[in-house]
Amino acid sequence: MPAAPRVLLMNPNSNAATTEAMVAIARRVLPGVRGWTAPSGPALITTLDSLAAAASVVGGAPIPPGIGGIIVSAFGDPGRAALAARLSIPVVGIGAAAARAAAQGGRRYAVVTHTPALVTGIDALMRSSAPNGAYLGTFLTNGDPDALSHDTIALDAALLAATHRAHAAGAKAVIIGGGPLGEAAERLRPLAPCALVAPIPEAARGLALLLQDTA
């Protein structure tokens, strides 16, 4: 039996610890995933300008030989289209994968995140990735994104409060929107008032299916 294709999880944020955490989540679905961390840019992407810069870095990054599939693990999927255009392997973005999963069965869904400056891009990605979905919009946490990222208790509380607001507005599924929020999504799953969609596992599952189809 041939070996499973090697998968590269690309973190467009320049935080290696975040990469390790995201790789650990993806490996629960796809064993053997290896990580890549952006060599430049912010540790946490919080603006559309930094998202665009990350797209350039990711899209032009050299890919090691032997990689059979890629997960772009930032919620705006920066660089995914450029990678897909120049490579002959499947490239999956966690944002689009989460949108497709959340919209299944016609569910009304929303995004919860802690980066207000990215809302315009998030909304556009959700609508383009699941054009027939009943998308209700983005619900934001209260507090500074960087400060929340360094306070697990405050981050979880803020995300859960925003999830309750989204559910009260009619969401039957809520996406925790952010690659660096992957661990928080796993922690909050049993506490959420509705179905909670974690982007990294959804991207890993989607890529696994694509790899089966190309095997």
Question: pTM value?
Answer: 0.94
Q: What are phi and psi of 109, to 5 degrees?
A: -140, 165
**Alpha carbon separation from 144 to 27, 86, 89, 155, 202 (Å, rounded):** 30, 37, 38, 10, 27
Specify the pLDDT at position 1: 38
Structure tokens at 97: 């994968």
Q: What percent of the chain has pLDDT over 90?
A: 93
Measured at the CA of 92, the angle between CA 81 and CA 30, to 5 degrees, comes to 155
For the stretch 163-215, pLDDT in tens is: 999 999 999 999 999 999 999 999 999 999 999 999 999 999 999 999 987 65
For the stretch 171-180, pLDDT in tens is: 999 999 999 9
